[in-house]
Amino acid sequence: MTASLRDAAVTAARFPLRPAAPADRPALAGHWLRVAIAVAVIGWGANQFTPLLLLYRPLMGLTAAMVEAMFGMYAIGLIPGLLVAGRVSDRIGRRPVVECAVLLSIVAGVVLILGPHGVAWLFAGRVIMGVASGCGFSAGTAWIKELSSPPYSTAHPGAGARRAGVAMTLGFGLGPLVAGVLAQWAPLPTTLPYLPQLGLAGCAAVLVWRLPESRPPGQADGSTRLLRLRGLSEPRFLRIVLPLAPWVFGSAAIAMVYAPGLVAGRVAGPAVFFGALVALCTAMSGVLIQPLARRLARPGRPWLLVTSMALVTAGVAAEAGVAHVGQAVLVLPAAVVLGCGYGCCLVYGLAEVQRLAPPGELAGLTAVFQAATYLGFAAPYLLSVLRGYASPTVLLLGVAALAALTLAVTGGQAARRSS
């Protein structure tokens, strides 16, 4: 019996459901959708800040390094939230953790609205939003998966993971688009962009308040002890998956934050909306490439790994060309290439984790991989700090060379271990 079925059986034994009449089944099947809305709203809040970077920089006289440090502060809150919240939800249940995540996203939005009164508010808001995302994504993803399984649903076994991915992606894509449009053309550009997410988060808190608890308190097992995971010592995880992980969001961050900042002064039109459009192109291309990426994810074959890092290498090299030429319009196709690289890297990493994780360790090993992916958010800040030593073109070419080296090393490891 798999872990998910075992957990479902325990849930059914301790909290028996009355036999559902046919009319009740739509309500039961819709439980996962309420959690998905909450996860999407949290993702909205996480990414709505991206186009506003181009607003805050001239408005508050901030340096490029400071603005990109704000973006990276999100990971400071997200990584511990991601690693800890899943363990906590295993012990106390999914609902309280997701509720806490939604409420924290509201607090973060309010703090970010206070940003023009001092840069510390922006840093604090990003950290709080990171904690909210870590809690919401870990516990929310698990909750969606469990509510998509018996006794709550008879959906396909892989439906839960797909539903969680779609929810996060919709949030990531809609957040910067709506915030960018409001910041560019609506009044109160440092306030109104946050209000839609605050309203939706309030609705999401109500939606999940009375949902069934799929993980009764006290049902945690050894899989929550991340430092004792046997999968962490797996050579393939250490030598292939972990080196690949930072490129997942490192590529996306370069596309969404660093490159638009290089050409912001040359955008002939609405610069903030341009930033929102770049973020949307990056996120959506990362999603649309994933069905094709899953077809390339064959056990024992490095095709998807090679494709992923080749796209990242090409995308960063294209951004170096953009930095040299200075044409803002070229940022969009480069963002599409990097977005595809981000999506392929994510699919490959998750597929490998699912294949390598020993029984009962999938959630824990996935949390470690996801935490490593968010280290990539530091890429724009590191590039800005190093700008005093080399031009953006040279720095991006160096990053492209590092990506090519990662491709050579991990590809070689994968080929040897497949033979």
Q: Tell me the DSSP string of 141-152.
A: HHHHHHHTSTTT
**Residue ranges of the chain that CATH labels 1.20.1250.20:** 31-214, 230-419
- Condensed to tens digits (0 to 9), the pLDDT of residues 263-294 reads 877 876 688 899 899 999 998 898 888 888 88
Tokens of 322: 């953009």
Nearest Cα neighbor of 240 from 337, 359, 353, 343 is 353
What does the alpha-carbon distance between residue 16 and residue 12 come to, in Å, rounded to a whole number? 5
Nearest Cα neighbor of 47 from 270, 419, 342 is 342
Confidence at 319, pLDDT banded by 50, 70, 90: very high
Domain 31-214 adopts which CATH fold?
Answer: Growth Hormone; Chain: A; (1.20.1250)
What does the alpha-carbon distance between residue 102 and residue 201 come to, in Å, rounded to a whole number? 6
Confidence at 19, pLDDT banded by 50, 70, 90: very low
Judge contact between 42 and 102, C-beta under 8 A: yes
> Which one of 3.40.50.720, 1.10.274.10, 2.60.40.150, 1.20.1250.20 gives the CATH number of domain 230-419?
1.20.1250.20
Taking each helix axis as running N to C, give the angle between helix 64-92 and helix 94-113, from 0 to 180 degrees, rounded to the nearest 10.
160
Nearest Cα neighbor of 232 from 355, 75, 356, 376 is 356
Nearest Cα neighbor of 308 from 337, 275, 329 is 337
Tally of CB atoms within 10 A around 325: 11
Q: Tell me the DSSP string of 48-71.
A: THHHHHHHHHHHHT--HHHHHHHH
Residue with tokens 């560019």, as numbered in its chain: 184
pLDDT score, position 202:
95
Higher-pLDDT residue of 315 and 209 is 315
- Condensed to tens digits (0 to 9), the pLDDT of residues 391-403 reads 999 999 999 999 9
Q: Which amino acid is at 395?
A: L
Tally of CB atoms within 10 A around 405: 13
What does the alpha-carbon distance between residue 33 and residue 129 come to, in Å, rounded to a whole number? 22
Report the length, in residues, of the chain: 419
Residues with Cβ within 8 Å of residue 200, at least 6 apart in sequence: 37, 41, 44
Integer CA distances (angstroms), 211 to 91, 148, 317, in order:
18, 13, 48
Please report the beta strands in 95-248, taking only residues with DSSP state E, as ranges in sequence order. Answer: none
pLDDT score, position 212:
80
Integer CA distances (angstroms), 286 to 213, 302, 337, 339, in order:
32, 20, 9, 4
What does the alpha-carbon distance between residue 30 and residue 175 come to, in Å, rounded to a whole number? 24
- Condensed to tens digits (0 to 9), the pLDDT of residues 165-185 reads 778 878 888 999 999 999 999
Read off the pLDDT of each residue in 216-226 and give the average, rounded to a whole number.
52
Question: For the chain, first and last CA: distance in Å?
Answer: 32
Q: Which residues of 188-215 are buried (b: 16+ CB within 10 A; e: fewer)?
A: ebbbbbbbbbbebbeebbebbeebbebb
Q: Is the dihedral of CA 386, 392, 393, 396 positive or negative?
A: positive
Judge contact between 116 and 61, C-beta under 8 A: no
Query: Torsion angle of alpha carbons 289, 293, 295, 296, nearest 10°?
Result: 140
SS3 label, residue 390 = coil
What does the alpha-carbon distance between residue 351 and residue 290 come to, in Å, rounded to a whole number? 12
- Condensed to tens digits (0 to 9), the pLDDT of residues 77-105 reads 988 888 888 778 877 888 999 999 999 99
What does the alpha-carbon distance between residue 131 and residue 105 come to, in Å, rounded to a whole number? 9
- Condensed to tens digits (0 to 9), the pLDDT of residues 332-389 reads 999 999 999 998 998 888 888 878 877 766 667 777 888 899 899 889 989 988 988 9
Q: Which amino acid is at 184?
A: Q
Q: Which residues of 235-271 are buried (b: 16+ CB within 10 A; e: fewer)?
A: ebbebbbbbbbbbbbbbbbbbbbbbbbbbbeebeebb
